[in-house]
Amino acid sequence: MSDRNLTFVRSEMLPAREPPTNQFGIVKLLREKLFNNWLSALLTVASLIVLVWIAGSLSPWLFNSVWSANSLSECRQILGGAEGACLAVIRDRWTQLLFGFYPPAQYWRPVLAFVLMLVAMAPILFPPVPRRLLWFSAVFPGLAYWLIWGGTLWLPVSAYAGLAVGGVVLRLTTRLGSGVAVGLAFAGALAWGFLASGLVTTVIEQLLPLSLPAVTSREMGGFLLSIVIGVTGISLSLPLGIVLALGRRSTMPLVKTVSVVFIEFIRGVPLITLLFTASLLLNYFLPPGTNFDLILRVIIMVTLFATAYMAEVIRGGLAALPRGQYEAAEALGLDYWKAQRLVIMPQALKISIPGIVNSFIGLFKDTTLVVFIGLLDPIALSNSIRATTDWQGIYWELFIFIGGLFFIFCFSMSRYSMHLERRLKTDHR
Amino acid sequence: MELNLETEIDRSRMRVSEQVAIRIEDMNKWYGTFHVLRDINLTVRRGERIVIAGPSGSGKSTMIRCINRLEEHQAGKIVVDGIELSSDLKNIDKVRSEVGMVFQHFNLFPHLTILENCTLAPIWVREIPRREAIETAMHFLEKVKIPEQANKYPGQLSGGQQQRVAIARSLCMKPRIMLFDEPTSALDPEMIKEVLDTMIELAEEGMTMLCVTHEMGFAQAVANRVIFMDQGQIVEENNPHDFFNNPQSERTRLFLSQILRH
């Protein structure tokens, strides 16, 4: 007989206890991350010294800043040789950086459009906002166009009427098969645009004039331009990217080939090339005398460019979904479009959020490239401000202002995407 | 491998009718040049409970996946509830809404709550009002004994609970035939029983069932026919008693000795 007893029976189960206190909070941070051993302690101290040094050398420049002066030389006079930022240039020219050469008496229009844009985005971005507000989101693009470019209100209204015509045609012809119906609806909307729209707009405008002073695209610039191009590009590239990603995964050879060729072509060409195409080459191809707005052309090119990237990002999300999700949706009898809309896309888009927002941010910053085709983005305006005798030689202040504003927009997008990822996190991994 | 059935199985409603639910005639399928299913002939009557067994790679999952066209067959004929499966999309959708399917890995939709998982197809395919769909869903969730989890997400549930939700989700479409593709293979032993109990209850109500499973206890207790497949063909087909006690084919005997040894 062995004297070791191998039997063990637990008479009562152990309750859960509090973890040891040094495993949490500031104590854990200090012990494990900052002063773990002598090397990390050394690095912590060194980093602190660098931070203090940077703050110390930047602060006089910022705290000595001059806000009221009419030129750079006046700024220097006030500073009297000391280091300091000449932020007076921002105070003097901020409206130009925001609006370009938009008529100052009409500044309220883009500002109102911007505020309304926030309202229109709210129900899309934040679910607690009532869904009923979505009708405003639908109306907003036309309203914003009218506010920013001016002219008659009946033009955007007529564009919506064209959409309605397309919708009605789609309803009526849907029995003929979805492909045919979509084609006919498209044709109907185009027919409205080319045949009826102009006449109807003119007639109604005479009966009931509702117009704002027109502002041409040439007069627009600065962040107004960046936001118009960026927001339009962003809101169009996502749906188009989804369609293209589905097209690339389609089993129909024609659809697949068209999608692949489009994506590979657009991705293989620098954006600048596309922008030059928009500004120069289209003039040769379009019939002479066509008045095709430059900003509209740029928006189309930027959107196509972003769409190609978006499609690949979303395709990545689609590829990451297990095959079983498609099978479960199919087995329940959901058809292709319902399965995509209700089961596949919500998950694929969620997976792709970081990539999607990455593309959005890239697109928004790429709007500064329009400087090369003669549009006045904020960078172009900083050049023209520097070209005046008053502000010749001023760099940092303008770039910091422009960079700061871009940062605010991009950082908000980034924060929103993180919020969205948290909100949609349901897998509890 | 004995399934310990505490509850006596109620056979009063387990009646096989003369009506044909599924008819498969000379069905063949290839993956590329690989011949996966060879000359499959099978007639399933309404109310039958068929267990399909066989070694892995024998084509048993592929066969039942052909029944709701998750896999396409290249030759032969499959008629489900009087509807022949062809490339006609309308027929496929009709068949799929009549046939429920439960998968090995549950395949619940992780972005929807349990309740939404169960109401999605009834609302969007059957187009029944939301309130009614919720009532039906709660009814079936009660039946699989997890109504209290209705507002949780699949990721918060155990494997056994998820599989029971998957069964409830299929039932919400009021299918006339249920297909089970190894429903317990991905589960811990403790959870297998809760899923099998649910399936037994379903059988007691007279549901037509085709189960690919390795649970031989379940086959003995519930099935009225066991089909053994190997190398893409049906090797033996018999009632459970004779199948287990007096297998005719050498291959079947070998298979049974392998899995019943422990």
Contact B96, A338 (CB under 8 A): no
Q: Is the pLDDT of residue A287 over 90?
A: no
Decide: residue A213, CB within 10 A, 0-12 exposed, 13-18 middle, 19+ buried.
exposed
Asked if A333's CB is within 8 angstroms of B93's CB, the reply is yes
To the question of pTM greater than 0.80 for the whole model, the response is: yes
* Measured distance CA(A69)–CA(A353) in Å, rounded: 46
Q: Is the pLDDT of residue A290 over 70?
A: no
Q: What is the 3-state secondary structure (H, E, C) of A370-413?
A: HHHHCCECHHHHHHHHHCCCCCCCCCHHHHHHHHHHHHHHHHHH
> B89: distance to nearest CA of chain A, Å?
9
Predicted confidence band at A428 (pLDDT cuts at 50, 70, 90)? Answer: low
Q: Count other C-beta atoms under 10 Å from residue B128's C-beta.
A: 16
* Measured distance CA(A10)–CA(B122) in Å, rounded: 50
Asked if B155's CB is within 8 angstroms of A350's CB, the reply is no
Q: What is the mean pLDDT of residues B152-172?
A: 94
Contact A302, A236 (CB under 8 A): no
Q: Count other C-beta atoms under 10 Å from residue B40's C-beta.
A: 23
Highest mean pLDDT among A74-78, A203-207, A244-248: A244-248
Tell me if chain A has a CB within 8 Å of the CB of B97. yes
Segment A53-57 long-range contacts (CB within 8 Å, at least 24 positions apart): none
Predicted confidence band at B70 (pLDDT cuts at 50, 70, 90)? Answer: very high
A-chain residues within 8 Å CB-CB of B170? 331-332
* Measured distance CA(A292)–CA(A289) in Å, rounded: 9
Residues in chain B: 262
Q: What is the pLDDT of residue A373?
A: 85
Mutate to test the interface with B, among A178, A326, A327, A332 (most CBs of B within 10 A): A332
Q: Is the pLDDT of residue B149 over 80?
A: yes
Which of helix, strand or coil describes residue A53? Answer: helix
Q: How far apart are the first and last CA of chain A?
A: 50
CA A284 to chain centre: 31
Q: Which residue has the tokens 């395709």?
A: A315
Structure tokens at A84: 């300091």
A-chain residues within 8 Å CB-CB of B155? 426-429
Structure tokens at B49: 């409970």
* Measured distance CA(A344)–CA(A246) in Å, rounded: 11
Q: Is the pLDDT of residue B2 over 60?
A: no
Domains of chain A: 17-62 (no CATH), 92-102+217-424 (1.10.3720.10), 151-212 (no CATH)
Calculate the alpha carbon distances from B23 to A182, B68, B79, B125, B231 in Å: 39, 13, 5, 25, 21
Q: What is the mean pLDDT of residues A30-41?
A: 82
Q: What is the pLDDT of residue A293?
A: 81
Following DSSP, what letter does each residue of A140-162 receive, concatenated?
A: HHHHHHHHHH-EETHHHHHHHHH
Tell me which chain B residue has its CA closest to the CA of residue A346.
B111
Which of helix, strand or coil describes residue B238? Answer: strand
Bridge partners, residue B179, by sequence: B101, B210
What is the H or E stretch that residue A276 is in?
Answer: helix A271-276
What mean pLDDT value characterizes chain B? 90
Mutate to test the interface with A, among B111, B113, B120, B165 (most CBs of A within 10 A): B111
Tell me if chain A has a CB within 8 Å of the CB of B22. no
What mean pLDDT value characterizes chain A? 88
> Which residues, 6+ apart, have CB-to-CB distance to A57 below 8 Å?
none
Q: Is the pLDDT of residue A319 over 80?
A: yes
Tell me which chain A residue has its CA closest to the CA of residue B104.
A324
Calculate the alpha carbon distances from A260 to A184, A308, A373 in Å: 25, 9, 29
Q: Is the pLDDT of residue A243 over 50?
A: yes
> Angle A266-A267-A270 (CA atoms, 0-180°, nearest 5)?
85
Mutate to test the interface with A, among B62, B70, B107 (most CBs of A within 10 A): B107
* Measured distance CA(A423)–CA(A420) in Å, rounded: 5
Predicted confidence band at A291 (pLDDT cuts at 50, 70, 90)? Answer: low
> Which residues, 6+ apart, have CB-to-CB distance to B54 below 8 Å?
B60, B228, B229, B230, B235, B255
Contact B216, B260 (CB under 8 A): yes
Q: What is the pLDDT of residue A204?
A: 82
| A160 or B89: which leads in pLDDT | A160
What is the H or E stretch that residue B257 is in?
Answer: helix B250-260
Asked if A328's CB is within 8 angstroms of B93's CB, the reply is no
Task: Choose among B234, B256, B251, B231: nearest CA to B42.
Answer: B234
Q: Is the pLDDT of residue B1 over 50?
A: no
Q: From chain A, which residues contact B within 8 Å (Cβ)?
A: 322, 324-325, 327-335, 338, 342-343, 346-347, 350, 424, 426-429
Taking only the tens place, the pLDDT of each residue in B221-255 is 889 999 999 999 999 999 998 998 888 899 999 99
Cβ–Cβ pairs < 8 A, chains A and B: 70
* Measured distance CA(B65)–CA(B63) in Å, rounded: 5
* Measured distance CA(B254)–CA(A410) in Å, rounded: 66
Predicted confidence band at A3 (pLDDT cuts at 50, 70, 90)? Answer: low
Mean pLDDT is lowest, of A56-70, A398-412, B169-183, for A56-70
Contact A257, A299 (CB under 8 A): no
ipTM of the complex: 0.90
Task: Choose among B50, B3, B45, B32: nearest CA to B197.
Answer: B3
Q: Is the pLDDT of residue B4 over 60?
A: no
A-chain residues within 8 Å CB-CB of B120? 332, 334, 342-343
Structure tokens at A386: 């520097």
Q: What is the pLDDT of residue A360?
A: 94
Q: What is the mean pLDDT of residues A106-114?
A: 93
Following DSSP, what letter does each residue of A97-136 receive, concatenated?
A: HHHBT--GGGTHHHHHHHHHHHHHHHHHH-TTS-GGGHHH
> Which residues, 6+ apart, have CB-to-CB distance to B214 below 8 Å?
B53, B182, B184, B185, B259
> Which residues, 6+ apart, have CB-to-CB distance to A356 below 8 Å?
A238, A310, A313, A314, A349, A417
DSSP assigned state of A340: I
Residues 59-88 of B with CB under 8 A from A: 68, 70
| A118 or A171: which leads in pLDDT | A118
Segment A338-346 long-range contacts (CB within 8 Å, at least 24 positions apart): A338/B124, A338/B125, A340/A246, A342/B120, A342/B124, A343/B109, A343/B120, A344/A318, A345/A242, A346/B111
Q: What is the mean pLDDT of residues A337-348?
A: 93
Q: What is the mean pLDDT of residues B170-195?
A: 92
DSSP assigned state of A220: B
Q: Is the pLDDT of residue A292 over 80?
A: no
* Measured distance CA(B139)–CA(B45) in Å, rounded: 27
Q: Which residue has the tokens 């109604």?
A: A204
Of the candidates A328, A333, A350, the beta carbon closest to that of B97 is on A333
* Measured distance CA(B237)–CA(B247) in Å, rounded: 9
Share of chain A above pLDDT 70, in %: 97
Predicted confidence band at A62 (pLDDT cuts at 50, 70, 90)? Answer: confident
Residues 140-199 of B with CB under 8 A from A: 153, 155-156, 169-170, 173
Q: What is the mean pLDDT of residues A257-271?
A: 94
> Which residues, 6+ apart, have CB-to-CB distance to B56 below 8 Å?
none
CA A265 to chain centre: 23
* Measured distance CA(A346)–CA(A349) in Å, rounded: 5
